[in-house]
A and B are shown apart, each in its own frame.
Chain A
Amino acid sequence: DQQVKQNSPSLSVQEGRISILNCDYTNSMFDYFLWYKKYPAEGPTFLISISSIKDKNEDGRFTVFLNKSAKHLSLHIVPSQPGDSAVYFCAASEPSGAGSYQLTFGKGTKLSVIP
């Protein structure tokens, strides 16, 4: 059973426009959420995160929004650039006992930014 879902496998956006990547989760114990960016044949790199006590976190062109009641988060990229073309993974963290946490990843959304 998938606890973190990215329902759009791919997304195409024109350069300069906004990219919105969505992520839904089912586990109400998740209390920290992260977005990772991954280029082909490379490891993912951390992009931005948000704690469950917040509803928005912004870092430059990247903003993550969290709607706890809907168990939904989204990543906004404005303006989108061709270099943003990559696979974006949503991840969620929950306590797993003895002060440790477990990270669960979604399947990813491939973003293509068209020049």
Chain B
Amino acid sequence: DGGITQSPKYLFRKEGQNVTLSCEQNLNHDAMYWYRQDPGQGLRLIYYSQIVNDFQKGDIAEGYSVSREKKESFPLTVTSAQKNPTAFYLCASSIGQGIGELFFGEGSRLTVL
């Protein structure tokens, strides 16, 4: 089945540790995205990538880093510089970074203790 797989679904980490969230898609989509959702907030864009080896900052990129070495993969690292990392993280992809629907993964809930 085609889709987007995020792992892990739940993650607990101590303050000050870097954490990497995995996102893999087999939809052959060019564009991939990372969003963050907080209670009572909409989805806020962290980073996006239109093609391999290229990515751009979204609205709230500070304290995060990404890589796009393969078309299928777009991992997100939450660094110790992110002041409030506890959140629900969503990865998405689309055929191109254009009009049309985004396909979302199931999400990863990160809790920093």
A: residues with CB less than 8 A from B are 4, 6, 9, 31-32, 34, 36, 41-46, 49, 51, 89, 91, 93, 99-103, 105-108
Contacts of A36 in B (CB 8 A): 104
Contact of A100 with B98 at beta-carbon distance under 8 Å, contacts A105-B43, A107-B40, A107-B42 already known: yes
User: Can you list 22 A-B contacts with CB-CB less than 8 angstroms, sorted by A residue number?
Assistant: A4-B42, A31-B99, A32-B99, A34-B101, A41-B106, A41-B109, A43-B6, A44-B43, A46-B103, A51-B99, A89-B42, A91-B43, A93-B99, A99-B98, A100-B50, A100-B96, A101-B97, A101-B98, A101-B99, A103-B102, A105-B44, A108-B42
Say yes or no for B63: interface residue by CB 8 A criterion.
Answer: no
Question: A51 — which chain B residues lie within 8 A by C-beta?
Answer: 99
Question: Are A46 and B42 closer than 8 Å at their CB atoms?
Answer: no
Interface string of B3-33 (1 = CB under 8 A from A): 0101000000000000000000000000000
Q: How far is the CA of A106 from the CA of B102 in the complex (A)?
A: 15
State whether the Cβ of B41 lies closer than 8 Å to any Cβ in chain A: yes
Q: Bound complex: CA of A9 vs CA of B41, how far in Å?
A: 10
Are B104 and A106 neighbours in the complex by a CB distance under 8 Å?
no
Q: Specify which of A45, A101, A102 is in contact with B104 (CB 8 Å cutoff).
A: A45
With A and B bound together, what is the CA distance between A43 and B92 in angstroms?
Answer: 9
